[in-house]
Structure 1
């Protein structure tokens, strides 16, 4: 069995360019795999707590997944811009703008890709098109990517650090000191509550209560990938840029790993201390959350570097390389497939609900059955991603 897997993994890794940073590919694959795993349980009523987001302040392992991806975007950006340094800034900006628009459009497509066939009174135009959620995961990646490109092109290391800190400071100043009011004229300032913060007010006023994720939040509907929290999300991406710069330095590999570990441990420690004054909160993307998630991402990257490039234990990474190579295609496929499972009717329920209640729940129980459903979804996704990888089809935006 091991010999088969060894041959299989070596075949996957052999097509990677010699100078490719395998640790980063593996971390990207691990991150997108975790993202799809937590997004597709058999039943949201039966999910182990580490696979759920924190209810509000605080964090779980699941809360680290999306910021990991944002940090990795920053690392990849720095490495790719080094290869494009002869293209000129205007050409790079145009390329980044097109990529950002495509990512934003793909996010809107996923938001619109649903129809409730089980409800004869369902009105797609009123209940989906006219209540389109403007922002989301892919939209945030697109916005963060574009503005990070601008900063990286026109600022050196000190400027990038300055922007990272400055964006967090600007965000925090708005959250703590800018006044806002609800429809009844009640004045607020400095709140970090669910549905009551400057970020929530801005989403409610600019995007509209019908076009955000938390539409029933009071007094302000808001989006966890909202407008104001995009500022510290750019800081997360800049943290990835700086990590990639550090990896490009003249230090030895062991020194780089030690440096990443030191930064990661100190960042997590400081974030947890800061949590007592400024809560760690993913939905608000607070600066303490930026520090925590960037620190853990640095630790994870250090571990991957140690495994792949120091110990030379590389075979484990092969499946994650497959997922990571087509991360956007994987995300899009998972989103479309999950929606199709919900749209297809089986009796008075969906195909998703029928599969869980008649196959996975009887076989494995409530929580294990829900997890087994998510793992099965991953396995089927892997078969498609492997087919694409084997044929050299990489979906790029």
Structure 2
């Protein structure tokens, strides 16, 4: 058994995590300002891809969140697999640490939502991006610990099909069954009934209760990928080809399902899981090929700095540190000498530099927030 697996760290996984996070900490701001200042068609297209779909549909920005969950899933066969190889670590002990991690992430998510600006329970949003990551990864970890691969695959498809059937056929009072509008869908109705605190969008929450269920499948898809990458039964090029083909297949299946259960990030529909999972596999195939197979690594350092401290920079960029004020303090004089229409671009670039400098310092000091 020991000969059939490899435990080498995937540098591509850290780089892909950093690439994913870059767009929501400062990358999107830089692209948006570049598009405004230049009117460049490429910049305009990139800027359009850095907005969420209004309802149904899919953009690159819709991929960022499920890609992060997918990456977390890939790491499970490596991190949990290594722990299980130690006889002193029982599945229950590992489960306790996964539960503790989930609770910490949920608390951090409420802090990002403004917990310390306490304005009463009814004005406090409990659901969050970090909360969804916590719950989806906890349950995927539970499944990974206590089931075999065959059962995991069965659960993956059962969850996607079960969510589809619930959303399509369980009636919502005053709306009926299968109504997938912002107010009339089952997930929004259950959030209005049971989700603690306030809803992010008044009548629904994009990180609500029922819609977290299919997000477990993004993590499970990562688990399957981690199983495959950790195996030594296939060559690296076969792994790349298999991930690429599987990614394309999932995207095709997603769009075939789309007319019946639309690709929708807010509802986190089953077709959205397949679409985002397919693109996640394509990105993983590319990063794995370039970094771990061809070993072209000269460009990855900034993404590794981000990826190794992803939770730290997410928290910092969402309210804990004013990177814009720091950039103005450091580069304000230089920015003021630039043509007025390009000053916002320069400021956005300054924010990127400050954040990368902060992360490089943490990386050099080997200070990593491990949750």
TM-score range, shorter chain: 0.7 to 0.9
Partner of 1:213: 200
TM-score normalised by structure 2 residue count:
0.86
Contact 2:247 2:281 survives alignment (8 Å)? yes
1:175 is the counterpart of 2:149: no
**How many residues matched?**
347
CA RMSD between the two structures: 2.9
Partner of 1:237: 219
TM-score normalised by structure 1 residue count:
0.80
The alpha carbon displacement at 1:318 in A equals 1.1
- Secondary structure in 2 matching 1:125: coil
Q: How do 1:353-372 and structure 2 match up within 5 A?
A: 363=339, 365=341, 372=346
CA–CA separation in structure 2 for the residues paired with 1:201 and 1:363: 51
The alpha carbon displacement at 1:160 in A equals 0.6
1:394 is the counterpart of 2:350: no
The alpha carbon displacement at 1:41 in A equals 6.9
CA–CA separation in structure 1 for the residues paired with 2:154 and 2:99: 23
Shift in alpha-carbon separation, 1:288–1:375, aligned structure 2, 3 A = farther
CA–CA separation in structure 2 for the residues paired with 1:162 and 1:195: 32
Structure 2 gap ranges (5+): 1-6, 37-43
Partner of 2:191: 203
Structure 1 gap ranges (5+): 1-17, 116-123, 216-220, 345-350
- Secondary structure in 2 matching 1:229: helix
Contact 1:32 1:324 survives alignment (8 Å)? yes
1:383 is the counterpart of 2:371: no
Q: 1:23 aligns with which of 12, 24, 33?
A: 12
1:34 is the counterpart of 2:29: no
Shift in alpha-carbon separation, 1:187–1:374, aligned structure 2, 3 A = same
CA–CA separation in structure 1 for the residues paired with 2:212 and 2:347: 33
The alpha carbon displacement at 1:139 in A equals 0.6
Contact 1:38 1:51 survives alignment (8 Å)? no
Q: How do 1:99-248 and structure 2 match up within 5 A?
A: 99-112=101-114, 125-126=119-120, 129-181=121-173, 186-207=174-195, 211-215=198-202, 221-248=203-230
Contact 2:323 2:351 survives alignment (8 Å)? no
CA–CA separation in structure 1 for the residues paired with 2:183 and 2:27: 24
The alpha carbon displacement at 1:150 in A equals 0.8
The alpha carbon displacement at 1:305 in A equals 1.5
The alpha carbon displacement at 1:193 in A equals 1.2
CA–CA separation in structure 2 for the residues paired with 1:56 and 1:187: 18
Shift in alpha-carbon separation, 1:371–1:264, aligned structure 2, 3 A = farther
- Secondary structure in 2 matching 1:188: coil
Shift in alpha-carbon separation, 1:57–1:257, aligned structure 2, 3 A = same
CA–CA separation in structure 1 for the residues paired with 2:153 and 2:91: 20
- Identify which range, 375-384 or 32-41, moves more after superposition: 32-41
